[in-house]
Amino acid sequence: MPKFCANLKWLFTELPFLDRFDAAARAGFQAVEYASPYEFSAAEIRGRLRACGLRQVLFNTPAGGGSGMACVPARRDEFRDGVRKALDYAADLDCGLVHLMAGIVPSDLSRDTAAAAYAANVAWAADQAEPAGVRLVLEPINQRDVPGFFLRTQEEGAAVVEAIGRERIGLQFDIYHCQVAQGDVTRRLEALMPAIAHMQVADVPGRNEPGTGEIAWDYVFRRIDELGYAGWVGCEYRPATETSAGLGWLKRFSA
């Protein structure tokens, strides 16, 4: 079964952020991910990781007050500063994956212009990340949750990965977003597996624990194993009640 890591933006929110590390370790997780470390110093977070014996798997580039800005030409300098900041944190936290957030296409910008800015920004960021030993990941997000988000489908994300090179950049395949936006999850996993560097899960439609909605997780997790996926799967869901009370599914599916 896949290796699951706790997303501390979504799980253990009953506690202040820094206390969620200990809660995750106590619940049996060996690794964590979350969107933003930037409200705390890297040293503070590193201390929590070490004290709890946890590994940092992934975090995002600064969201810039929204969902990122990689597709927005007017925010190029801010984007670049954000990438530099993220790479500094990644070095301090010994984190090998950073999610480069694409952003929302401004209403007065054509999609072609946004696409050109995105391609240039991702290529620049990959050049920065490579010597730092960090692999960037790109995540398509469904339009119902984030209307106007630039990267809409798994195939759009995979095409950028192939253009830049799989060794430098990978696809962040969030099964929740795939099911909402496109469906046909396992066929897409089969087709895109070589490009996938990270996965995330939540059930549909409620974005709660696996097993609370329409996805057949026994089948999906079995196929992920059969396809030889060796990366982490982030638990990026909203607990239906309280985090610990909802972790039963994990015992069923964990290696």
Ligand X SMILES: O=C(O)C(=O)[C@H](O)CO
Query: CB of residue 51 vs Mg ion: minimum separation in angstroms?
Result: 27
**Of the candidate residues 174, 192, 210, 246, the single one contacting Mg ion (CB under 5 A):** 174
What one-character DSSP code corresponds to residue 164?
H
Return contacts of 161-165, CB within 8 angstroms, 24+ apart: 161/195, 162/195, 163/119, 164/122, 164/123, 164/126, 165/126
Asked if 200 interacts with Mg ion (CB under 5 A), we say: yes
Residue nearest to Mg ion (CB): 174
Q: Residue 179, interface with Mg ion (CB under 5 A)?
A: no
Report the partner that residue 154 touches, choosing among ligand X, Mg ion, none (CB closer than 5 to 8 A by kind).
none
33 binds Mg ion (CB under 5 A): no
Residue 141 binding: pick among ligand X, Mg ion, none (C-beta 5-8 Å cut-off by kind): ligand X
Instruction: Give the nearest distance from C-beta 70 to ligand X in angstroms.
Output: 12
Catalytic residues: 139, 236
Residues that bind ligand X (CB under 6 A): 35, 60, 99, 139, 141, 174, 177, 200, 236
How far is residue 37's CA from residue 43's CA, in Å, rounded to a whole number? Answer: 11
Q: What are the Cα distances from residue 46, in Å, to 56, 58, 95, 154, 165? A: 9, 14, 11, 32, 30
